[in-house]
Amino acid sequence: MNQYQDVGAVTVRKRKKYNVRDAFKFQRTTGGSNEHCCVPLCTASSRYNSELSFHRFPKQNGLREEWLHQIRRTGFTVTPHTKTGAGTRPTSSPDPSPMETEEEMVPMLEDHDYGACRVVCVNRERYEKMREEIEALRQQLHTLHMEKSFGLERFASSPEDIRFYTGFPSYEHLMAFWNLISTATAKLVRVTTRARKTYATSTTTESPLTRPTKLLPIDELFLFLTYLSTGCTQRELGHRFNIHRATVSRVIVTWANFLYSLLGSVCTWMSPAAVKASLPRVFHGSYSDTQVVLDCTELRCQTPSSLLPQSEDFSNYKSHRTFKAMVGMSPHGALTFVSVLFEGSMSNREVFRQSGITSLLTPDMAIMVDKGFMVDDLVPGTVHCPAFLSKKMQMPEVDVPKTQSIARLSVHVERMIRRVKENKLFDTIIPLSIAGSINQLFTVTCLLSNYQNGPLVKK
């Protein structure tokens, strides 16, 4: 019949069915066997490739079951003629070109490796050498990571660096303090950028999923302590910790508020019995009733452009604009009282009156102060204070030993203040950018001195 037929006026072409086998056919080998692979969709057959090798199923039950599991044929029964095939490179391959080497020749990939043996033979000496090289590279990578990152773990083995950056004498000492506060950090209330603009704190609690910074809480504490101890700028801290400067500012304010609330909730004021139990020998005698040794300290701050704040905060003693605070210590040197910061122009008497310490004193408690504290009428108990010359040309002989002994004992409170000002942030001019949180920063630094140092006066 012709390929074309006429149906009316229309010529119709009869379509010929397309068969894949007509397009491509395997050439059957002569003298080959009829073995083929039992794996589904595998084309390995000895009818078309006599170079293929085939494997019988193992007789061991466990290994045979694993082969059956890998084949994944439901209801499949193994017979003595059931085999699996593996592709190999033909032995009659053409000779390589002069430019090719034996290592450059790539063998053909196998369709499957179900018959491969699990035991792999390796060169033991080469294996150990490679393992040592991997371990050395791992240590080198860890060292480079530690040198690049600026964190607490980097300085853990150096007590000098820990003391410089945190104020704590050693890494173990710092970790002991961290163990005291780590539980409370689970409910850390953070200050966000929006909260700072509205002068309100965010109520979002911290969790590993909601933490706004990539620093761990212990590294944030390290950043905060580094800021206090070194007094470096927030921009410099941002470069060191690889975070934005605004993030550094939020971390500092957050931890200042957190430690201010946490450490401030711990009562530092000691009972008279506790003070007498730790009273140093130098206070025995006339001053054994001393409850607290008081003194004022001033922090120099940046001068604003407005004239009114300049006049209110200007200190005649420092000839600079300052903040003034009153601190108190027990006779053995522990900080037991710290006031809020006042204007530098305020007198010591007025700072004493507004500090609120009078509510803690009782008639059986004596205080020791310097000459600038004329507070005898404000204290219910005794006031140990050096004698004044008044209008006399020379101090009476009976007042000289008293003045010398009080000066010798009250100098310890200045040593305690020196400990606080070892934090470089307060030994320089305070910038106006942190004036809103300077009270929390100073109070926290004073309270931290009890955890960072031992007794100031030997018993």
What tokens were used for 211?
A: 């933490």
How far is Cα 219 from Cα 230, in angstroms, rounded to an integer? 16
Does residue 301 sit in the same domain as residue 177? no
Q: What is the pLDDT of residue 351?
A: 93
DSSP reduced 3-state for 396: coil
Residue whose structure tokens are 């084309």: 43
- For residues 392-431, one letter each, b for 16 or more C-beta atoms within 10 angstroms of the residue's C-beta and e for the rest, the string is eeeeeeeeeebeebbeebbebbeebbebbebbebbeeebe
Domain CATH number, residue 426: 3.30.420.10
Query: Has residue 212 been placed in a domain?
Result: yes
How far is Cα 171 from Cα 180, in angstroms, rounded to an integer? 14
Query: Has residue 3 been placed in a domain?
Result: no
**Contact, 228 vs 441, CB < 8 A?**
yes
Does residue 227 sit in the same domain as residue 175? yes
Q: Give residue 230's domain range.
A: 148-264
Does residue 174 sit in the same domain as residue 308? no
Describe the crossing of helices 399-421 and 438-452 by its angle, rounded to 10 degrees. 110
**Contact, 297 vs 324, CB < 8 A?**
yes
Number of domains composing the chain: 3
Cα atoms found within 13 Å of the Cα of residue 218, Cβ hemisphere only: 15
How far is Cα 220 from Cα 376, in angstroms, rounded to an integer? 45
Query: Has residue 107 been placed in a domain?
Result: no
Does residue 250 sit in the same domain as residue 306? no
Does residue 172 sit in the same domain as residue 73? no
Residue 58, C-beta contacts closer than 8 angstroms, at least 6 positions apart: 64, 67
Q: What is the pLDDT of residue 106?
A: 37
Query: Has residue 382 been placed in a domain?
Result: yes
**Contact, 38 vs 84, CB < 8 A?**
yes
- Choosing from 103, 121, 139, the residue where a domain stops is 121
- Digits of tens for pLDDT over the chain (459 positions)? 444 444 444 444 555 554 544 544 444 544 556 787 888 777 777 777 777 778 888 888 888 888 887 777 777 888 887 887 764 333 333 444 444 444 443 333 344 554 444 445 567 888 888 989 999 998 887 776 655 667 788 888 899 999 999 999 999 999 999 999 999 998 888 877 554 444 444 444 454 444 555 788 999 999 999 999 999 899 999 888 888 999 999 999 999 999 999 999 999 999 999 999 989 988 888 899 999 999 999 998 888 777 666 666 777 777 778 899 999 999 998 999 999 999 888 889 999 999 999 999 999 999 999 887 888 899 999 999 887 766 666 777 777 888 888 888 888 899 999 999 999 999 888 888 888 899 999 999 999 999 998 777 765
Q: Which amino acid is at 2?
A: N
Beta bridge partners of 7: 10
Residue 333, C-beta contacts closer than 8 angstroms, at least 6 positions apart: 412, 415, 416, 455, 456, 457
Q: What is the pLDDT of residue 268?
A: 92
Q: What is the pLDDT of residue 170?
A: 93
- C-alpha torsion angle, residues 151, 154, 156, 159 (rounded to 10): -100
Does residue 306 sit in the same domain as residue 282? yes
- Choosing from 247, 264, 281, the residue where a domain stops is 264
Query: Has residue 11 been placed in a domain?
Result: no
Query: Has residue 106 been placed in a domain?
Result: no
Phi/psi zone of residue 12: left (φ > 0), alpha (ψ -120 to 50 degrees), beta? beta
Supply the pTM of this predicted model. 0.64
φ, ψ for residue 249, nearest 5 deg:
-60, -40
DSSP reduced 3-state for 406: helix
Does residue 290 sit in the same domain as residue 425? yes
Does residue 393 sit in the same domain as residue 447? yes
How far is Cα 115 from Cα 171, in angstroms, rounded to an integer? 57
Nearest CA-CA partner of 374 in 354, 392, 352, 397? 352
Does residue 393 sit in the same domain as residue 371? yes
Beta bridge partners of 54: 85
Query: Has residue 94 been placed in a domain?
Result: no
Does residue 357 sit in the same domain as residue 253? no
Query: Has residue 333 been placed in a domain?
Result: yes
Does residue 297 sit in the same domain as residue 435? yes
Does residue 419 sit in the same domain as residue 296? yes
- Choosing from 206, 241, 264, the residue where a domain stops is 264
How far is Cα 36 from Cα 267, in angstroms, rounded to an integer? 87
